[in-house]
Amino acid sequence: MPVFTVPLDYDETVDHSTVPICVSAVDDLGNPVHFEWIQHGVAPVAHKLVRLAGSLLQDRWRASEITEPVVHQLSRDYGPELGVDPSARVLSGARWHAHDLRAGGRRARRKTEVELFAKTLESLEDQVDLARSLIAKDMLERLVGQLTKLGMDDVREMVPLMLRECDSDQFQRKFNKSRNAVAQQFYRGMRKAARAAGIL
């Protein structure tokens, strides 16, 4: 079966350092491959395809493996119509094919990508929660500072108890007031502190 080889002037008897890219001249369906895809699609980026195979598959000699199916598909779909940048299309397709091979197939790669996306979302949500916590903490510190300036020491002492949602007995023991009375005093004091801090 005839094969296209890149570099186009490659001679294996002479050149032992170059990694050639070999593409069957007939695809799996028996269609002849348009040489234009080799000449203008593969040849200009051959070194990048070899490097891609080396970086993603740890084997530069697998460059033909990631290039041939892409060229066959492009030739089948578009014939000799190369479009604006055929080498970019070949390189992009080869990159995806290499990712598929590395992951164990397209389905495996897509599953991995979905899992990675989910983890990224979780991470972003955690960062948003952290940002909200920091903003809330900063605001709380400003309010407590205002309570101190306003001389509202009782309300300032209520803050940790309210945050911990202590039960009525604890409020009764600490302030000698019902939880309802403490809550009213707390929210009045916090509103006053918020206005003084410019938050309200």
pLDDT attached to residue 115: 55
pLDDT in tens, 91-111: 988 998 888 787 665 555 455
- Alpha-carbon distance of 59 to 143, in angstroms, equals 62
Provide the 3-class DSSP secondary structure of residue 53.
helix
pLDDT, position 189: 78
Residue 110 has what pLDDT?
Answer: 58
Low-confidence ranges of the chain (pLDDT < 70): 1, 103-137, 163-168, 171, 179, 199-200
pTM higher than the cut 0.75? no
pLDDT score recorded for residue 136: 64
**C-alpha to C-alpha distance for 70 and 93, rounded to whole angstroms:** 6
- In this prediction, residue 40 carries a pLDDT of 94
Query: Strands, DSSP E only, in 31-166?
Result: none
- Predicted local distance difference test score (pLDDT) of residue 176: 81
pLDDT of 146 reads 82
Query: What's the confidence (pLDDT) of residue 196?
Result: 79
Gap between the Cα atoms of 60 and 21, Å rounded: 10
